[in-house]
Structures are given as C-alpha cells and as structure tokens.
Amino acid sequence: MQQRVMKAWWDSSHLAGGNATYIEEMYELYLEDAQNVSEEWREVFDKLPKLDGVEVESKHSAVRDQFRTLAALGPAARAGSSAPQTGSVSDEKQVKVLQLINAYRFRGHQHANLDPLELWKQPRVRDLELSHHNLSESDFDTTFNVGSYAIGKESMPLGELFKSLNRTYCGSIGTEYMHITDTEQKRWVQQRIESVQAKPEISREEKISLLQGLVAADGMEKYLGAKFPGAKRFSLEGGDSLVPMLKSLISHAGTKGAKEVVVGMAHRGRLNVLVNVLGKNPSVLFDEFAGNHDDSLGAGDVKYHAGYSSDYATPGGNLHLALAFNPSHLEIVNPVVIGSVRARLDRRGCEDGSMVLPITIHGDSAIAGQGVVQETFNMSQTRGFKVGGTVRIVINNQVGFTTSKTEDTRSTQYCTDIAKMVQAPIFHVNADDPEAVLFVTKLALDYRNQFKRDVVIDLVCYRRHGHNEADEPNATQPLMYQKIKKHPVPRKLYADQLIAQGTIDAHEVDKLVADYRAALDHGACVVEEWRPMTEHSVDWTPYLGHDWDVKYDGSISVEKIKQLGERLIAFPEDHKLHSRVAKLYQDRKAMVAGDKALDWGMAENLAYASIVDTGDNIRMTGQDSGRGTFFHRHAVLHNQTDGSDYMPLQHISPDQGTMEIYDSVLSEAAVLAFEFGYATAEPGCLTIWEAQFGDFANGAQVVIDQFLSSGEAKWGRLCGLTMLLPHGYEGQGPEHSSARLERFLQMSADHNWQVCVPSTPAQVFNMLRRQTVRPMRKPLIVMSPKSLLRHPLATSSMEELSEGVFHNVIDEIDNISPSKVKRVVMCSGKVYYDLLEQRRKNDQDDVAIVRIEQLYPFPHEEMGQIASKYKTAKDWVWCQEEPQNQGAWYCSQHHFWSSLPQNATLTYAGRQASASPAVGYISVHNQQQKDLVDDALTVK
Ligand code: AMP
C-alpha cells in the first residue's frame, strides 16, 4: 500500500502542498507515538526508510524528501508493492476520503455561506466536490476511516461525512486556519470546530440574550434615526451582531480571568457600542446630539470619536472596560489600544496577557488598506510590544465609503489576509447568524488565551445606509442597496427563527422591543451589566490641573549621583564587552571618579538611574535604543562571549522601579502610537520613544498630529510621552539633519506639549528628571543631539546635574560685560557651540549668546530677565541652522519679539529658505554653516 498511497497522494492535483503538510503532520504524530495514527497510516510509515539520528527540527524536511523519493521511485518500485488490504474499502478511496477532509479544512471557507446579502460570487472550488477525488454518491454508504477528523468517531459512511464536512466548513462560518504551521494550534482549532460541526448547542438563556443584543442594536439606531433625522451617527445597522458579540466577548473574558478590557474602534457603530455595551447614559448622548457638551474636555471632539470608561459585571466578577478615544484616521487607534493594554498588564505584573484583553475593531477596507495594520501584526509577538494576543474584529460591511468592488479595494481574496502574516486563525462569519457569531467569538477568545496570539473574526455584514445617514448609497452601489432595502433586519430574522423553534413567542419579542424603547425614553443606562468604575488600575487625579511651570524639587545630591554612577558602571566580571564599549565604560569610570567631565551618554544614563532609584518606572523603545543610534548610550551591554545582555540600569537598587529598553520593530507609526497608548494609561512611567534619526518621525506624523499634539485638547487625556528626535545640521544630507522642528512649533498651542532643545549633559539630565518629578504629564518633544554627544565643550559637572533645574534659557557663559554687548544672538541646539567657538576665535566681547532651551511653552519670564540685562543692546538676532522656512524662525518669532528690550530690532541669521531640509554636498553645507555663524556674529 505504501507506494500506492504515495502515488495517489502525489498524483493528486488537489493542493499537493496541503496534502504534504497533512501527511507530514500525521508522520510527526506517528514519530511521537505510533499509536497516534490509524493502523493504515502506521503500516505506511512503518515501511518508510528509517531516519537515523534525525533531529526533531529536521523532521519535516527529511520526511518530505522521503516522500519525494517515494514518488520518484517509478513504476518498478510501485510494481513491487506489497500493499496490505483494508477489508472492503479500497486503499485508494480511503486516501481520497482523507484528501476530501483535508480539502474542506483548507478551502471549505470558500463555499461557506458568509454574505447575508448573498451577493458574493464564490469561486467554484473543485477540491470540495466528490468527483474531484474520484468519489461519488454511490460511495455514500461505504464506511471510511476519518483520520484526524475530530467528530468523535473513527469511521463514518461517506454520505454522513460529506454532510458533516459541509456543515462544519461551509455553513455560516468560514474558518481559515490551515496556514498555521504550529501543529498544536492547528489541531486545537480543528478540534473545537469539528467536534461540534461548527454549531454547538446553545441554551435558551443565551439565545434570548443574543436576541436582546440585537433588539438593543436595532432599537438604538431606529431611535436615533427618528429623533435626529439626517444627523450623522454612522449607524451600525446591518452589523447589529456586533453588540451581542462584544457583550459575550467581554463576559467570556471576565469568566476567564480578565480584569480589564480595552477596545479600539472607528466611527461605524460606535454610538451603539457606547450605549449598548459600555453603558453610556443615552440621555448624555441625546444631549450631545442636541448640541450640548461637556466643557471639561476643552475643544472636544465629535460624539462618534468619544471614548468611555465603565465597569462591567461578568460571571467571573466585575472588570474594567475602556473604549479608547479615536481620531478619524482609520486603524491608527489600534496600536494605541495595544500600548494601553501593555501598560495595564505591566502595572498588574501580568506577563502572559491574561488579565487585560485588547479588542480592536476594524473596517473591511481599512484593515486591508492601512499599513499600520501590518505594523501592529508585526509587533504582536515581539518582546517589547506583545500583550498576549489581540482579538481583532472586522465589521465587514463590504463597502469602504463608496468603494465596494474588490478589484478596487484590495489585491487579496479576503480583507483579512494580512493577518496570515502572523498565522492568525481567521473566522469569517455571517453576521445574520448570531449563534454562529457567538460560537466564533468564544472560540477566538479561547484561542487568544490559549496561545497568546492574535486572532481575527471577520463579521460579514452590510451597511443599511450610506457612509453616514446623509449619504445616498444607491448612487454608487445600486444593486447592493436594492437588495439591502428588501433584506429584513437581523433582529427580525433571529426573532423569527426563535419563534419558529418555539424558544420565544411573538408577544415576548414585541415586549423586548417595547421595553428597550421605553428604557431609551427614560434616558437611563440600558446595560444591565454596567457598574460604576472601581476596577480601573490607576488614579490620575494627582496629575490633573498642573501648569508646565509648576514648582517641583528636582535636586539630587552629588553623593547620590556618584553612587548611581558606581552602579551604572558595574557589570559581571565574565560579561565581556566589545573593546569600543569597554573604552567607553573606562571613560565613564573616570567620570564617576571625578577625573573627567560628564558627557551626554553618561548624564542621560544617570538621569534614568536616578528615576528608577526612587521607584519610578522607565520604558524606552525606538530603533537602536539599547545602544543608541550614535553609539553613545550603551544602556544594554552585549557579552562578546555568549551574546547575552546585561543592563546596569536594572541593577541600581533593590527597590528600584522597572527599567525597560527595547529596540523596536522598524516602524514609526505603530510604535509611536503604541507608546502614546502606554503613556496615556500609565502616568507613573517615564515613557520614551526615540527615532533613529529625527526625520524618521515623519512616518508617524499622523500620531503626532492626531494624538500627541491634540489628545488633551480633544479628549482631556494627559500624556507624558517623551520623544527623542536626533536633530542637527552636520552635513548628513536632506534626510538625516532635521527632525522638522518647525512642525512641532507650528502645532504648539494651549500648552499642549513642551518642545526642548537641550544643549548640555546637565540639561538633558534635568530635563528627563523634570518630566518625571513634576506631577504634570504633557508630551515632551526633544531635539536631541548627534555630534554634540561627543563635543568637547558639551560636558557638565556633577554639581550642575545635582542642581536639579532644567534651565529654559541659558544666558551667556563667558565673562562678557553686558554693557559692552551690542548684539545678542539667540539660538537653540548645536549651532550654539559653532557660535561660541567662532566668537572665542574672533576674540569678540560685543556679542552675547543666549540659548533658548525650551522653545515651547516659551519661557517669557526667564527671557525677560535676560533681556533686561542686555537692555542697551538694540541689535538682536535669531540664529538657526535650519533653512529660513524651517526651524523656529517663523513659528517662534512672535515670542522672540515679545522678549526684546524696547526699541531693539530682531534679524535672522541662518540658511536661506529651501524646499529640502538640507543640502546633500558637504562642501556646500560647510560653507553655509560658516556663513550663518559669521553673519550672526557680525555686529552691524
Ligand atoms: P481608563 O482606565 O482608561 O478607562 O480610565 C479610567 C479613568 O481614568 C478615566 O475615566 C479618566 O477619568 C481617567 N484617565 C484615564 N486616562 C487618563 C489620562 N490619560 N489623563 C487623564 N485622566 C485619565
């Protein structure tokens, strides 16, 4: 039989790769224990040439090679077959039956009944036809072994098996899981689906609860539609199942031990979810429709972007529920949610993700179209970003605004295909079958909890109205909307089904509908499970209501700094450093001993040490953060002998806070959004994102615009995130010179964040400490240095660090008499050192150089004091390296003017306006740099 089985297998046109996988898996099981497989397969495998000394890892490939060898043996080998017989069943048919099962597992979803509108044109999948496997209805009465088909029987008549396969794989659920290479996961999904033929019994109570969810979803939209006709609400109608789905997901999560659930979703259905899942008071929503608003949220946001927090009662106890605030940029909220979840998990000390569940809700066009989705999938299993899996739900209404043709919206079969990159199982489900929805919901959560990985539910539905209620969808989707018009709402379909089954009668259904409407009229919370908030894990009140100049004590003794320095340079003796790193640590040793001034890298590390030493936590991520792009940080030491890591910052003191530094995936948007989510959920952690070069932040511009700059103004959400953006004109060309300071300054208003350009090690030390010690939580945007990291003048003493003050402005440091000063040059950042060196060379005493270290909020008070010192100087200059249309000149000029003494003039010394951030030629760069410095120092 061996050769015949192999020939049948090899000659089959159906998914040879898939069969190979299947047979390999059987062989894997056989290798573990021969009793794991049926007798027929045992005989086949017993006869395979033995693999002496084959390692477990090489099993797959080794066996594949053997199979190929077998297939290539040719007629002579096959002629010599000594096939064992299996009673009345022909061996070849038996193999074909196993292939049929395999075909359904692979491709059954392509024939599943997923589209409530029945508009999908399904391809004919020949593999799912009996004839393709040389089987026919005449074999229906013959009993075959069903291999690993997890129905609980070893064998079945083909007729019964065929029916079962269709029920399991081609009903209201289309399961994609055979792309998962991990056998355990694959078997797990298989077992769960096949054992109940994708349709478990569900209790009357659950059925009624599903119906109630649909009544609520439908009732809410009808109510809003009637009360506020034409108002935008981004109705859920068509995807009504989302409401009972989310409720069962949250409830199930609670029974499985979750303490918090964080949800991210776009506008579609959001109002419905707010009221019917999170328990937002309907009267508050109605007030919002009527134009009233909550003044505490500053500028505010439209109601379908609003977040909400509540507690929710589950059979496993109450849990905390948060719906994240969301801008309209699709999908970008998802990494924010996942970051928020990571913060909550860290706070709870939960490493496996079991205590906090992220749920992200996507649109069908957006999940396929937006690159940030790929970024979050890529992050999902990485050390610094994993959260034990995310349950991702797609509200697949088959239209993206007005675009519905799949040849326009994507290049993949399903909108969810991107999830295959992490081998997530994907459950497509017909949203008009709420019981199927319930089944896949629990299954998805169990998978996430079991394997700590992402899982996707594709809720295939439709959109009853246009993109919003004022839109006319018939203009672009005429056929679809003719169908939708005639299609009964999900509540009616399910109610009719339950009435036909005798589960409920028509009067009871009417009463459910009337009761829900009455509850809305009454205006009180309509979610039975809603509880007032007590389960959230952090208190933000100490951080509320502080201005950026709130008084704080950041001082730290020199003694303490030395002690921290000692800890920073300590590492195990057998941890062999690279010679360049060893040299750097030798230098750090000299700095601690007081034989050398402190450089940037050391001061920065000391800041972190001082912060964790007092029990605060630090999380830093970014491209190359462990080492530092410019070889300066070396917070993570790599052992040259065995590649192991050691982080001195994790060994500062026994009761220290946590210190985490992760080199991030090579993405900006998702990583920065993740860190925003982390920082808005955790005020007790200095959260830092570092760009490899400052301009890399361009890739995360949407996060900067829509969350960081405006999150507090729109949503009242504080965020202490620090962004380190290497910036400076050093001849590295257009892309690695500028962190686009001007963009941050242009978005500066309402004291929304701080934009700093520290120029000394003591300044970076105290800036980072200020960000933690001060109770205020606002984003800190830092133009961080490159060449300054090693500039001989950019050093500080321990005393300067110990002072504990970040100077928003630094006055002239040389001994220059103010009365002699004719010109005051104001500047920020690295150009200061160019100016200083040149002025010293020129031996000038008529120019004072003032550094503005915080450009926003502008330090008017400190600048005023300095201006009064140089009040006789009428010639003030702003000097910058950036082209005139960039940097601080245009955006901060009004602040500079307001700081000047009376009758003083303000001029500009810097590069000419330019479309590109910097020139590419080093000689041109050098000339420009020289000119701007000369210009700034030339007293007119
Ligand atoms: P959450 O755990 O996100 O549901 O938040 C619970 C409560 O904490 C919210 O209702 C807010 O009152 C408060 N809160 C959460 N995050 C922030 C934040 N970033 N800034 C200010 N208050 C917050």
Phi then psi for residue 639, to 5 deg, are -70, 120
Q: How confident is the model at residue 452 (pLDDT cuts 50, 70, 90)?
A: very high
Residue 707 phi/psi, 5° resolution? -115, -60
Q: How many CB atoms lie within 10 A of CB 99?
A: 23
- Per-residue confidence at 231, pLDDT binned at 50, 70, 90? confident
Q: State the closest ligand 1 atom to the C-alpha of 321, by its place in the atom list counted from 1.
A: 4
Ligand 1, atom nearest to 310 Cα: 4
536 Cα to the center of ligand 1, angstroms = 9
* SS3 at position 403: strand
Q: Which of 801, 802, 821, 803 is nearest to 811 (CA)?
A: 821
* Domains and their CATH numbers in the chain: 2-78 (no CATH), 95-103+111-186 (no CATH), 204-531 (3.40.50.970), 558-802 (3.40.50.12470), 809-937 (3.40.50.11610)
- Residue identifier of the C-alpha nearest atom 2 of ligand 1: 536
Structure tokens at 619: 């999380």
Determine the Cα angle at 788 with ends 782 and 791, to 5°. 160
Please tell me the predicted confidence (pLDDT) of residue 89.
63
The amino acid present at 5, given as its one-letter code, is V
Cα of 223 to ligand 1 centre, how many Å?
A: 30
Counting ligand 1 atoms within 8 A of each CB, the residue from 259, 262, 309, 539 with the most, and so the one to mutate, is 309
- Taking residues 840-853, report their average pLDDT: 98
Q: What is the reported pLDDT for 399?
A: 85
CA of 538 to the centre of ligand 1 (A): 8
- How far apart CA 71 and CA 600 sit, in angstroms, is 66
Atom of ligand 1 nearest to the CA of 533: 6
Q: What are residue 663's DSSP bridge partners?
A: 622
Q: Which residue, judged by its Cα, is nearest atom 17 of ligand 1? A: 717
What's the angle, vertex CA 232, arms to CA 228 and CA 235, rounded to 5?
95
Query: How many angstroms does the Cα of residue 783 sit away from the middle of ligand 1?
Result: 29
DSSP codes, 871-890: TT--EEEEEEEEETTSTTHH
The answer to whether residue 297 scores a pLDDT higher than 90 is no
Residues facing 849 on adjacent strands: 825
pTM of the predicted protein model = 0.91
The C-alpha angle 366, 118, 476, rounded to 5 degrees, equals 55
Q: Is 682 exposed, middle or buried (0-12, 13-18, 19+ CB in 10 A)?
A: buried
Using a 6 Å CB cutoff, which residues line ligand 1? 309, 320, 322, 536, 540, 680, 717-719
Which of 277, 717, 753, 776, when mutated, tests ligand 1's pocket best, judged by the most ligand atoms within 8 Å of its CB? Answer: 717
Assess whether pLDDT exceeds 80 at residue 105. Answer: yes
CA of 939 to the centre of ligand 1 (A): 54
C-alpha closest to that of 73 among 48, 99, 41, 94: 48
Average pLDDT, rounded, for the chain: 91
Ligand 1 centroid vs 419 CA: distance in angstroms?
31
Among protein residues, the one with the nearest Cα to ligand 1's atom 13 is 540
Confidence (pLDDT) at 88: 52
Instruction: Pick the residue whose CA is nearest to atom 5 on ligand 1.
Output: 309
Give nearest CA residue, ligand 1 atom 12.
Answer: 540
> Ligand 1 centroid to 307 CA: how many Å?
10
Distance in Å, CA 672 to ligand 1 centroid: 19
Q: What is the CA radius of gyration of the chain?
A: 33
**Pick from 282, 210, 202, 206: nearest CA to 245:** 210
Residue 476 pLDDT more than 60? Answer: yes
What's the average model confidence in pLDDT over 441-454?
A: 98
Give a three-class secondary structure readout of 54-68: CCHHHHHHHHHHHHH
DSSP-assigned letter for residue 173: E
- Nearest atom in ligand 1 to the alpha carbon of residue 711 is 19
Mean pLDDT of 427-439: 98
Index of the ligand 1 atom closest to the CA of residue 344: 2
Q: What is the mean pLDDT of residues 911-926?
A: 96
Question: In ligand 1, which atom is closest to the CA atom of 544?
Answer: 21
pLDDT band for position 29 (cuts 50, 70, 90)? confident
Asked whether the beta carbons of 103 and 128 are under 8 A apart, the reply is: yes
Q: State the distance from the centre of ligand 1 to the C-alpha of 711, rounded, in angstroms.
A: 12
Q: Quick one: pLDDT band at residue 48, thresholds 50, 70, 90?
A: low
219-233, 312-326, 492-506: least confidently modelled range: 219-233
CA of 398 to the centre of ligand 1 (A): 34
**Exposed / middle / buried, residue 482 (Cβ in 10 Å: 0-12, 13-18, 19+):** exposed
Q: Look up tokens 């601690």; give the residue.
A: 592
Q: Which atom of ligand 1 is nearest to the CA of 719?
A: 19
Say how many Å lie between the CA of residue 717 and the centre of ligand 1.
7
Dist. CA 144–CA 185, nearest whole Å: 26
Average pLDDT estimate for 15-32: 59
* Tokens representing residue 63 in the block: 């066996």
Question: What is the 242 CA–ligand 1 centroid distance (Å)?
Answer: 25
Ligand 1 atom showing the smallest separation from residue 536 Cα: 2
Which is nearest to 429 in space by CA: 378, 394, 465, 399? 394
Distance 681 CA to ligand 1 centre (A): 7
Q: Which atom of ligand 1 is nearest to the CA of 537?
A: 2
223, 456 contact by CB (below 8 A): no
Environment class of 647 (CB within 10 Å of its CB; exposed 0-12, middle 13-18, buried 19+): middle
Give the DSSP H/E element, type plus range, for residue 910. strand 905-911
Residue 785 has pLDDT above 80, yes or no: yes
Is the model's pLDDT at 252 over the cut of 90?
yes
How many C-beta atoms surround the C-beta of residue 713 within 10 A? 17
Ligand 1 pocket mutation, candidates 344, 359, 536, criterion most atoms within 8 A of CB? 536
Q: 902 exposed, middle or buried (CB, 10 Å; 0-12, 13-18, 19+)?
A: exposed
**Position 603 pLDDT exceeds 70:** yes
Pairwise CA distance, residues 341 & 261, whole Å: 8
Neighbours of 79 (CB within 10 A): 9
CA of 216 to the centre of ligand 1 (A): 27
Q: How far is the CA of 540 from the centre of ligand 1 (A)?
A: 7
Are the C-beta atoms of 783 and 757 separated by less than 8 Å?
yes
What distance in angstroms lies between residue 777's CA and the mean position of ligand 1's atoms? 13
Ligand 1 atom with minimal separation from the 539 CA: 8
Mean pLDDT (whole number) for 311-335: 95
For residue 526, the CA-to-ligand 1 centroid distance in Å is: 23
Residue that wins the pLDDT comparison between 404 and 662 = 662
Residue 81's pLDDT is what? 34
Q: How many A from CA of 680 to the centre of ligand 1?
A: 8
CB 756 within 8 A of CB 855: yes
Range 527-552 average pLDDT: 93
Nearest CA to ligand 1 atom 10: 309
Residue range 355-407, pLDDT digits in tens = 999 999 999 999 999 999 999 999 999 999 999 999 999 999 998 888 888 88
Q: Which of 540, 714, 721 to mutate to test the pocket of ligand 1 (most atoms within 8 A of CB)?
A: 540
E strands, 635-738, in order: 637-638, 645-646, 659-663, 685-690, 722-726
pLDDT for 672 equals: 98
Distance from residue 750's CA to the centre of ligand 1 (Å)? 20
Going from the C-alpha of 394 to that of each of 123, 271, 892, the distances in angstroms are: 22, 17, 44
How many other CB atoms are found less than 10 A from the CB of residue 49?
Answer: 8
Bond prior to 857 in cis (omega within 30° of 0): yes
| Ligand 1 atom nearest residue 322's Cα | 4
Q: Which of 818, 888, 895, 823 is nearest to 861 (CA)?
A: 895
pLDDT of 80 above 80: no
> 925 Cβ partners below 8 Å, 6+ apart?
729, 731, 918, 919
| One-letter amino acid for residue 680 of the chain | T
Are the C-beta atoms of 603 and 765 separated by less than 8 Å?
yes
Confirm if 689 and 721 have CB atoms less than 8 A apart: yes
Per-residue pLDDT tens digits for 153-179? 999 999 999 999 999 999 999 999 999
Structure tokens at 594: 């007081």
